[in-house]
């Protein structure tokens, strides 16, 4: 007696628990792939925006002109430009309050930039924990489906007088599909999680370096009116 060992046929003949596990893993895999593509596009956009602003920042434009352009772009600007705008905004507010202590001005600007930096990193890490969870949990969910399927297969064999490999193979194959689907969902999620974590760490280091460089520029210009501040170069 021949059996159809295609994945579709195996799933149609599997127990409802195995079918539920496989459907869950396929759904999670589709969601994780969507999150991966969104994150790829988001990180690529962040890189482009930061490259553009960094060129403008060191091109010789005044801090006041850069700040005006950042305010006009608003949320359309990149993380580095938003951090710059947050520092300049706090620096200008403290100046308007006629605070002349250089350390107070610099500390206020640094705190504003640190807060903006943390917000940007939180935004970059959206869906990262989901990918980590998919990568770590999916194999175990698939293994649960496999164990349940094997138990179901051997329970059905208990009533047979003669058991051969041909009678055991279909049930085992049905159960192992759940493990295969679990690995199919987990492997891309783990690879993407590690890659994105590395890219976000590099972005964080770049933003922290810019924050320190801009703090040094503010320190040099602390005695100058923001509207007359020289260029960063």
Distances (CA, A) of 112 to 6, 93, 120, 181: 59, 11, 12, 47
Q: Where are the domains of the chain?
A: 7-228
- Give me 224's structure tokens: 């100058």
SS3 129: helix
Q: The pTM is what? A: 0.81
How confident is the prediction along the chain (233 residues), in pLDDT tens digits per residue?
A: 455 556 666 666 667 887 888 899 999 999 999 999 999 999 999 999 999 999 998 887 788 888 888 888 877 889 999 999 999 999 888 888 877 777 888 898 999 999 999 999 999 999 899 999 999 999 999 898 888 877 777 776 666 656 555 556 666 777 788 888 999 999 999 999 999 999 999 999 999 999 999 998 888 877 555 444 445 54
Which residue is associated with the tokens 């801090």? 63
Distances (CA, A) of 200 to 70, 84, 86, 121, 152: 23, 19, 21, 8, 45
Determine the Cα–Cα distance for residues 39 and 23; give it in Å rounded to an integer: 24
**HEC letters along 22-80:** HHHHHHHHHHHHHHHHHHHHHHHHHHHHHHHHHHHHCCCCCHHHHHHHHHHHHHHCCHH
């Amino acid at each position: 007696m021949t059996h159809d060992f295609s994945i579709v046929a195996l799933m149609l003949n599997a127990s409802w628990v195995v079918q539920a596990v496989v459907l869950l893993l396929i759904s999670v895999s589709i969601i994780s792939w969507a999150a991966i593509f969104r994150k790829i596009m988001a990180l690529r956009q962040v890189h482009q925006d930061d490259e553009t602003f960094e060129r403008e920042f060191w091109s010789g434009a005044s801090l006041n002109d850069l700040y005006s352009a950042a305010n006009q772009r608003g949320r359309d600007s990149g993380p580095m430009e938003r951090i710059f705008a947050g520092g300049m905004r706090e620096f200008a507010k403290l100046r308007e309050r006629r605070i002349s202590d250089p350390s107070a001005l610099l500390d206020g600007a640094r705190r504003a930039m640190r807060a903006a930096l943390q917000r940007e990193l939180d935004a970059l890490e959206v869906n990262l924990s989901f990918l980590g969870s998919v990568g770590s949990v999916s194999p175990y969910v698939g293994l649960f489906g496999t164990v349940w399927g094997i138990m179901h297969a051997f329970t059905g064999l208990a009533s047979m007088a003669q058991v051969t490999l041909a009678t055991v193979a279909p049930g085992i194959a049905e159960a192992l599909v759940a493990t295969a689907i679990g690995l199919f969902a987990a492997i891309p999620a783990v690879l993407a999680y590690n890659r994105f974590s590395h890219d976000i760490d590099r972005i964080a280091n770049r933003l922290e370096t810019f924050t320190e460089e801009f703090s040094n520029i503010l320190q040099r210009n602390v005695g100058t009116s923001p509207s007359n501040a020289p260029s960063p170069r």
